[in-house]
Chains A and B, each alone.
Chain A
Amino acid sequence: MAKGRIIIDIERCKGCALCNSYCPVNILDLDITTTNLKGYTPLISTDPDKCIACGFCAIMCPDSVITVERFIKEAK
Chain B
Amino acid sequence: MNNVKTVYKKSEGLTDKYMTYCPGCTHGVIHKIVAEVLVELDVLDRTIGISSVGCSVLNYDFFNCDMQQAAHGRAPAVATGIKRVRPNSIIFTYQGDGDLASIGIAEAIHAAHRGENITIVFVNNAIYGMTGGQMAPTTLIGQKTTTSPNGRDAKTQGLPLRIAEMMATIPGATYIERVSVHNPQHVRKAKKALMKAFTIQKENKGFTLIEFISTCPVNWGMTPKDAVDWAVDNMIPYYPLGVFKDATVGEEK
Binding site for B on A (CB under 8 A): 4-5, 9, 11-12, 14-18, 21-22, 38, 40, 53, 55-56, 58-64, 66-72, 74
Contact = CB atoms under 8 A, between A and B. Distances in A.
Interface string B190-210: 000000000000000000000
Contacts of B21: 62-63
Consensus secondary structure, chain A interface: loop
A40 B224 CA distance: 15
Given A63-B19, A64-B11, A69 B6 contact: yes
A59 B9 CA distance: 9
8 contacts: A9-B10, A14-B24, A16-B217, A21-B225, A22-B184, A61-B28, A62-B26, A70-B4
Contacts of B9: 58, 64, 67-68
A56 B6 CA distance: 14
Contact of A72 (B5, B8, B184): B5
B38 interface: no
Contacts of B225: 17-18, 21
A2 to B, nearest CB: 9
A58 B188 CA distance: 12
A71 B19 contact: no
Contacts of A12: 18
